[in-house]
Amino acid sequence: MSDLITRHGRSGAVLFASPAAEPILGVRPLALCGSGLLDRVHVADRPAYLTALADAASLRESRSAEFRVRQGPLEGTPSFIWLEMRCHPLERASSEEAEVIAVMREVTARKEEEQAITHARAEAERANLAKSRFLATMSHELRTPLNAIIGFSDLLREESLMIDARKRRDYAHLINESGRHLLAVVNDILDMSKIETGNFEIFPEPVAPARVIDECCELLALRAREAGVDLGVALPTHLPQVMADKRALHQIMLNLVSNAVKFTDRGGKVAVAARAESGHIVITVEDTGVGIEPEDLPRIGDPFFQARSSYDRRHDGTGLGVSIVKGLVALHGGSIDVQSRVGEGTRVTVALPLGGKSGARRSETLTPRGEPATRIPVRKRA
């Protein structure tokens, strides 16, 4: 028979094992006798294995269990397979002997299929949750500025209302700001879509990273002052050029610095630094903001994901900023590292190769979640 058949005594010790032990487990039948089989059962599965044998012996009823068993020698790297065991009390045995016959069949392929189905179901649930989060986020991000645009434009159209020139300018300014906000949201969605489908192209050229960093920090300096956040930049005197898409590098820096300012309370600090190291330009954006929960760190960078901090609810955003940064960095052949502690702040480090990525002019296909084929480490801040 291709199935492994064993006979067990009252204590569960193996009294006999069939020759199928060799093709299934790679050992001689005698190696399973006594506690030999138990020693091969995965530690986490031993309770299920022993319970099935004990119930069959004491209750005189058939029992079944599934567990992992180690193949080959007990030394070296372990290799486990799944076995399905059906236990039956030995009818001819007296109540004192209480022996059990067990029939075991390998079900590794079936267990792997079950695990794959479970994983696919979990991915589908995450995708459904992401869709719901996307709709909730978009309803806020789009509806709020649209209401402002419609409301203030209606006021300006109403000829019966006496609106002085100053208020008209204020209303026009609010309409303009709301329109720009809508444009930024739509651009983020389009960029993320291009990155995920592999249609985002970058065109590398020699870029002075110090100039890009300075320009981005100058653009966000006013926002930092209004938020009461100290924005500081520390750059070495000589920073080598990097082969990169200038527009993409601008977008990386604007997203990282604006996020740092947004999630830093009044009186906090944001520090931007850069250095050349091991053939890379290493850019660091560090803040003293609210930080990120440890369980949220692995998901930072997932499209539309926003950390579950109560502080986040005070801020607008689509949750696409870091996702876009990860995609753009991956297209350059670089890496991104996020370290954070709740209440202490967050440090994001981006490393871009000085020589650029070979074939960077062509678009690179990313996984459906927007991540590159190589894993980008995201770990807890030390």
Confidence of residue 152 (pLDDT cuts 50, 70, 90): confident
Instruction: Please say which residue of 167, 197, 227 terminates a domain.
Output: 197
More confident residue, 138 or 274: 274
Q: What is the pLDDT of residue 359?
A: 42
96 lies in the same domain as 21: yes
54 lies in the same domain as 96: yes
Total domains in the chain come to 3
Instruction: Please say which residue of 176, 197, 218 terminates a domain.
Output: 197
Kindly tell me the burial class for residue 250, based on how many C-beta atoms sit within 10 Å of its own C-beta (0-12, 13-18, 19 or more): middle
Q: What is the largest CA-CA distance in the chain?
A: 105
344 lies in the same domain as 277: yes
Confidence of residue 370 (pLDDT cuts 50, 70, 90): very low
More confident residue, 366 or 198: 198
- Full domain range(s) for residue 84: 4-106
* 113 domain-assigned: no
94 lies in the same domain as 141: no
Q: Tell me the average pLDDT across 237-265.
A: 88
Q: Tell me the average pLDDT across 68-81.
A: 90
Q: What is the pLDDT of residue 307?
A: 55
Q: What is the DSSP letter of 94?
A: -
Q: What is the DSSP string of 37-72?
A: HHHHB-GGGHHHHHHHHHHHHHH---EEEEEEEE-S
295 lies in the same domain as 209: yes
319 lies in the same domain as 215: yes
Buried b (16+ CB within 10 A) or exposed e, 74-106: eeeeeeebbbbbbbebbeebeeeebbbbbbbbb
Q: What is the pLDDT of residue 302?
A: 62
Q: Tell me the average pLDDT across 29-43.
A: 93
CA–CA separation, 170 vs 177, rounded Å?
11
Q: What is the pLDDT of residue 96?
A: 58
Q: What is the pLDDT of residue 304?
A: 54
Q: What is the pLDDT of residue 32?
A: 93
Is residue 151 over pLDDT 80?
Answer: yes
For the chain, give the percent of residues with pLDDT over 90. Answer: 36
CA–CA separation, 19 vs 2, rounded Å?
9
Matching residue, tokens 């709020």: 144
140 lies in the same domain as 223: no
Q: Report the candidate in 185, 186, 188, 204 with the shortest Cα–Cα distance to residue 196.
A: 188
Q: What is the pLDDT of residue 2?
A: 87
Q: Is 243 helix (H, G, I), strand (E, B) or coil?
A: strand
What would the pLDDT profile of 174-215 be if each residue is shown by its tens digit?
Answer: 888 888 778 877 777 777 777 766 777 778 899 999 999 998
Q: What is the pLDDT of residue 8?
A: 93
What is the CATH classification number for the domain harbouring 46?
A: 3.30.450.20
What is the CATH classification number for the domain harbouring 185?
A: 1.10.287.130
What is the CATH classification number for the domain harbouring 267?
A: 3.30.565.10
CA–CA separation, 330 vs 23, rounded Å?
46
List C-alpha distances in Å: 121 to 52, 82, 134, 285, 353: 30, 22, 20, 37, 38
42 lies in the same domain as 154: no
Q: What is the pLDDT of residue 106?
A: 93
Confidence of residue 299 (pLDDT cuts 50, 70, 90): low
